[in-house]
């Protein structure tokens, strides 16, 4: 009992208990202090304290494949009995054979066909339920736990720390917005209306029963990646955030846009350098490639988080890494 109480007190004192003391942690804390202290020349009113976070590889694991791709593959397998033609038709044939290389070779056209078949053709409410059921049942292939337990504990603490300091936190992800919204409030403390992502087109329809629904069409509306991220931030939020967190070159423009506004700004990149507790990858990776960001971080005064050095733990406990 004494040990538990002491831990609780220590945690209350340290808002970032899963972070090692070092320059990354320090640069984040200093930034928050400077923009929140009213007497500070860098003070920012609450209304303008907006922070944006990428999701895949920044808030949760994106290896060995994007979680949404795992969802797509599971959906194809699940729907296959209703589509006997898929047995002979690419890219479905390769999905059913579990041939990841052939799926990758099918390229963007193949991916679009998979997205259309698995993400379109139902109402928004039906898709919500499909995501909720899948995310509850699916397990990460390496960590053998729900994907929502493969989120980065230090980043979840960071979101809570920013919120406690008056920040409004948005997720700005290349992933599908409706693939994230059903669970981000419970897992990250970020409500659906603060999630921005890629989207497919939708149509408003009143059914034969008189009930209006949002129907998901098998057609891409917007890809929220690279230069699309600042465009989406401007479209949805309508002001320039003061802090941005990412992990790959898909976040470069978002960090560039955020950190070149007037006043104090914070740009942060999560560097996956921890082969032991997670996966080490950067310049050569097909998933979450980080090259330009690494080259320019110093010149742009962006903070690099070394997962290996800066994080005491990676996943929530009980965790495979502790």
Tell which positions 276-295 bind a copy of itself, by CB under 8 A: none
Taking CB atoms, the residue at the shortest distance from Ca ion is 57
Tell which positions 217-256 bind Ca ion, by CB under 5 A: 247-248
Q: Is residue 230 at the binding interface for a copy of itself, with CB under 8 A as the rule?
A: yes
Q: Contact with a copy of itself (CB under 8 A): which of 111, 236, 294, 309?
A: 236
Contacted entry of a copy of itself, Ca ion, none for residue 202, CB cut-off 5 to 8 Å set by kind: a copy of itself
User: Rounded to an integer, what distance in angstroms lies between the CA atom of residue 154 and that of residue 135?
Assistant: 22
Residue span 70-109 as binding mask against a copy of itself, x where in contact by CB under 8 A, dash where not: ----------------------------------------
Residue 13's φ and ψ, nearest 5 degrees, are -75, -35
User: Rounded to an integer, what distance in angstroms lies between the CA atom of residue 222 and that of residue 90?
Assistant: 24
Q: Is residue 124 at the binding interface for a copy of itself, with CB under 8 A as the rule?
A: yes
Closest Cα partner for 193 from 177, 204, 214, 176? 177
Residue closer to a copy of itself (CB basis): 202 or 313: 202
DSSP annotation of 86 reads G
In whole angstroms, the minimum distance from the beta carbon of 267 to a copy of itself comes to: 12
CB 123 within 8 A of CB 174: no
Beta bridge partners of 212: 206
What six digits make up the tokens of 111?
Answer: 């991916």
Residue span 163-202 as binding mask against a copy of itself, x where in contact by CB under 8 A, dash where not: -----x--------xx--x---x-----xxx-x---x--x
Q: Spell out the alpha helix ranges (H) of the chain.
A: 2-13, 23-36, 67-79, 92-96, 100-105, 107-119, 124-137, 153-164, 177-188, 228-236, 252-259, 292-296, 307-310
Q: Is residue 301 at the binding interface for a copy of itself, with CB under 8 A as the rule?
A: no
Residue 50's φ and ψ, nearest 5 degrees, are -110, 130
Q: Spell out the alpha helix ranges (H) of 237-276.
A: 252-259
Q: Contact with Ca ion (CB under 5 A): which of 25, 53, 54, 315?
A: 54
Residue closer to a copy of itself (CB basis): 72 or 177: 177
Contacted entry of a copy of itself, Ca ion, none for residue 54, CB cut-off 5 to 8 Å set by kind: Ca ion
Residues that bind a copy of itself (CB under 8 A): 47, 50, 124, 168, 177-178, 181, 185, 191-193, 195, 199, 202-204, 206, 210-212, 214, 227-228, 230-231, 234-239, 253, 256-257, 260
């Amino acid at each position: 009992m004494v040990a538990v109480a002491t831990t609780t007190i220590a945690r209350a004192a340290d808002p970032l208990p899963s972070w090692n003391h070092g320059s990354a942690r320090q640069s984040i804390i200093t930034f928050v202090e400077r923009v929140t202290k009213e007497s500070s020349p860098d003070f920012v009113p609450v209304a303008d304290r907006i922070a944006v976070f990428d999701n895949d590889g920044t808030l949760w694991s994106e290896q060995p494949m994007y979680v949404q791709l795992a969802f797509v593959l599971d959906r194809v397998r699940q729907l296959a009995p209703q589509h006997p033609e898929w047995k002979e038709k690419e890219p479905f044939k390769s999905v059913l054979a579990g041939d990841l290389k052939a799926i990758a070779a099918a390229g963007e056209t193949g991916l679009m066909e998979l997205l259309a078949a698995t993400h379109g053709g139902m109402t928004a409410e039906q898709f919500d339920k499909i995501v909720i059921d899948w995310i509850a049942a699916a397990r990460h292939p390496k960590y053998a736990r729900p994907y929502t337990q493969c989120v980065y504990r230090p980043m979840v603490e960071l979101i809570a720390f920013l919120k406690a300091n008056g920040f409004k936190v948005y997720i700005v992800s290349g992933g599908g917005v409706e693939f994230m919204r059903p669970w981000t409030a419970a897992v990250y403390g970020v409500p659906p209306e603060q999630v921005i992502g890629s989207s497919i087109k939708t149509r408003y329809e009143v059914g034969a029963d008189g009930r209006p629904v949002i129907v998901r069409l098998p057609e891409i509306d917007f890809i929220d990646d690279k230069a699309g991220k600042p465009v989406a931030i401007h479209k949805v939020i309508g002001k320039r955030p003061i802090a941005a967190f990412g992990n790959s070159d898909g976040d470069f423009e978002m960090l560039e846009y955020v950190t070149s506004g007037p006043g104090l700004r914070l740009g942060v990149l999560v560097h996956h350098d921890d082969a032991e507790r997670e996966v080490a990858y950067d310049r050569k990776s097909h998933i979450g490639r980080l090259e330009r960001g690494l080259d320019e971080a110093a010149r742009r005064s962006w903070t690099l988080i070394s997962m290996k050095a800066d994080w005491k733990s990676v996943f929530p406990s009980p965790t495979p890494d502790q």
